[in-house]
Chains A and B, each alone.
Chain A
Amino acid sequence: MARVYNWQLGREMSYWYPESRASKQFAAVFDINKCIACQTCTLACKTTWTSGKGQEYMLWNNVESKPYGFYPLAWDLKLLEMLDGQKWNEGGEKPVYEGSTIFESAPAGERVMGWRPEDEDYAYPNVGEDDCAGGVDGGANIFETHDMAWFYYLARICNHCTYPGCLASCPRGSIYKRPEDGIVLVDQGRCRGYQECVRGCPYKKVFFNMMTGTSEKCIACYPKMEQGIQPQCFVNCIGKIRMAGFINPPDKANPENPIDYLVHVKKVALPLFPQFGLEPNVYYIPPIHVPTSFTKQMFGPGVDAAVKTYREAAANKDDDLTGLLGLFGSSEMLMERWKRVGDKIIGLDAAGKQIVDVPLKEPVVERPAFDKLYQITRTNCP
């Protein structure tokens, strides 16, 4: 194994291949606080990419209700149980992960530590996860305060990791990371369906297609990305929780890049299970209503600070941060740059050309039910 630097761990780690960062790295920020689990993202992906035979069970994008929802079943819990320690040293200038990654924990004979979901593990996508599962007997109620009166929605796609577990697991080199944008793809001409990638991806975002006999995964809608357009699950998001773009390593962070600004400058967006060691590139603004004792395991030691910054952004008149969050979902085009000019937040393409502008604060327009001009009650129109 080679030694590579993983900035999310604050240290070097072992990886199957030497460090080779893409010239640009696909990345995204999801604001969990805005997600309503409408599954429009899931359907947008499903109808675009996985409507074929053998893809029936596949959800390259899914939304699950945490802490009890999973797709596939217990995808995170199973690996967390296998992964010892997971301790962070937070005493220094920046946190350093002192536990082992899935690469460093690989048992004898394996490339990574992993497991394979079986048929029944895919049988419970988020259908009524947060509904009552059965009838409630007459008079039944809860007398005491519910200790865990929270849940949240976790939207997930492939993380297009800097150090992908799937790529490291494939003994044939059938998985590759595009040098131009860091998107991770399975070569459908080369894959022989060993399912080692399914086993090796801790996020379980590679799926075996039993009708083609190959493994398939999220492709970050690369045909759209190549044209400067955000992926399907981003542009169809009703809650406007997502922004796609590119991320730089922290030492090359550019505050004019919206992803860099949220991840590196404001540090409000955090990786999913950084302790796995893959340097995943979908970053989450953690749910602010959830005890950080829980979210810290999921998003790393930056959770407390991220929640504080996000919570206090409006009160602190942090117009840059609140304004940038308003840029989410404002255009289908990739906004590789951004700036604030007074009360306007402007999204720009890589060449600096303006794509869209949004107001810092949406104006409030009051429309009375009775329209005096036309002398009609609007709710009574034909």
Chain B
Amino acid sequence: MKSTLLIALIAVMIGAGPACRRAIVSTPDVQVVSGQTITLDANASVWNPVPVHLSKQIQQDLVEPRLMEASTQEVQIQAISDGNLIAFRIEWLDDTQDDLPGPARFMDGVAVQLPAKIDPNVPAPQMGETGKSVEISYWRADWQAVVDGRADDITSIYPNAKPDHYPFNAKPLENNPDAQAQAAQRYSPARALGNGREGPRTEPVEDLIAEGPGTLAPGPNAFSKGKGVRTRTGWAVVITRPLPAGFSKESPSQIAFAVWQGSHDETGARKMRSGWVNLLMK
């Protein structure tokens, strides 16, 4: 009876998701396994043989506002490439799923940062520096929820909300979707300006560039894609983007990671970040 229980327990541990899949031997660098089929599925078997780099995270303590209390200690990183795209599988522990925006509520998220140019003189790992920009692919849990089907409506965040009337729902506009959209934009200046912090979107990932703290801006290309899923212990997110220009076996690059836990009030500069790690093509 006891041996049956033990076998059952081991079976549960084996099947407990990627976090408990195996004992992790961390590589010192992020090794990109080439010749693979790119997938957004964090549970695909393609990831099984891919070496894992355990990225040690530290508090962002360079600029105010700082993160004064540490949260996510490490992030598991895997990388594959098909010769055109590079995909990162990123997994970390997070007890809570934070994907509902609101006052004093913050979103789980993760970001991958690469130097914009492969150069021995690398930018500062904290968001780059003037003249030495970095490219960032940023995934957020609330964007994932929207892509996965959450409605663009206040009741999807507050199920008991009963808004009495919106001007764009006025009777004269009801058969004119264009006029409705135009009226709605008048009360959503951020959307009117194309600042898609929330609202309808097709990708849970955003491409950004930066030349130092406070300079984050939309990137010239929207080429990153991604998908995040909850694991039993946190998040597993896959982010894909084109291979960095000039990146090859002979010409390695650098990479850095940042992670935000919404339940820990982490947002913007309040984050757990890494320094640069070598990104090597295998």
Contact = CB atoms under 8 A, between A and B. Distances in A.
Interface of A: 49-57, 108-111, 116-119, 121-122, 169, 171-173, 188-196, 198, 207-214, 216
Contact of A110 (B61, B65, B167, B197): B65
A212 B199 contact: yes
A210 B146 CA distance: 13
A173 B63 CA distance: 14
B66 interface: yes
A119 B102 contact: yes
A117 B104 contact: yes
B195 interface: yes
Contacts of A56: 154, 161, 163
Contacts of A116: 103-104, 265
A295 B268 CA distance: 38
B166 A52 contact: yes
Given A50-B187, A210-B157, 14 more contacts: A51-B166, A53-B163, A54-B154, A117-B104, A119-B102, A171-B64, A172-B268, A190-B195, A193-B198, A196-B65, A198-B103, A208-B102, A209-B188, A212-B197
B205 to A, nearest CB: 15
A212 B191 contact: yes
Contact of B197 (A57, A121, A191): A191
Contact of B198 (A49, A52, A189, A212): A212
B68 interface: yes
B250 interface: no
Interface in B36-60: none
Contact of B268 (A121, A171, A210): A171
B191 to A, nearest CB: 6
A189 B106 CA distance: 20
B149 interface: no
A171 B187 contact: no
Interface in B194-242: 194-199, 213-214, 216
B189 interface: yes
Nearest to B198: A213
Contact of B199 (A117, A173, A211): A211
Contact of B152 (A109, A169, A171, A211): A211
A25 B50 CA distance: 61
Contacts of A52: 166-167, 184, 186-188
B64 A195 contact: no
6 smallest beta-carbon distances between A and B, as pairs: A52-B187, A213-B197, A213-B198, A109-B66, A194-B268, A189-B193
B27 to A, nearest CB: 33
B178 interface: no
B197 A111 contact: no
Given A51-B167, A192-B197, A214-B197, A171 B188 contact: no
A155 B161 CA distance: 26
A203 to B, nearest CB: 15
A50 B66 CA distance: 32
Residues of B contacting A: mostly: loop
Nearest to B140: A213
A118 B196 CA distance: 23
A56 B102 CA distance: 12
Most chain A beta-carbon contacts within 10 A, residue among B105, B106, B187 = B187
A55 B267 contact: no
B66 A213 contact: no
Contacts of B103: 57, 116-119, 121-122, 195, 198, 207-208, 210
Contacts of B269: 171, 194
A297 B105 CA distance: 32
A209 B184 contact: no
Interface string B86-107: 0000000000000001111110
Nearest to A172: B214
A57 B102 CA distance: 11
A178 to B, nearest CB: 16
B190 interface: yes
A108 to B, nearest CB: 7
A201 B200 CA distance: 30
B184 A53 contact: yes
Max chain A Cβ within 10 angstroms of own Cβ: one of B68, B101, B163, B190: B190
Nearest to B196: A213
A263 B195 CA distance: 40
B163 A173 contact: no
A212 B146 CA distance: 13
Contacts of A216: 189
A212 B102 CA distance: 10
B216 A55 contact: no
B166 A192 contact: no
Contacts of B65: 109-111, 169, 171, 196
A51 B101 CA distance: 19
21 contacts: A50-B187, A51-B165, A53-B152, A53-B187, A56-B154, A56-B163, A109-B65, A111-B64, A119-B102, A171-B268, A171-B269, A189-B193, A195-B104, A195-B267, A207-B103, A208-B104, A210-B103, A211-B152, A212-B188, A213-B101, A213-B196
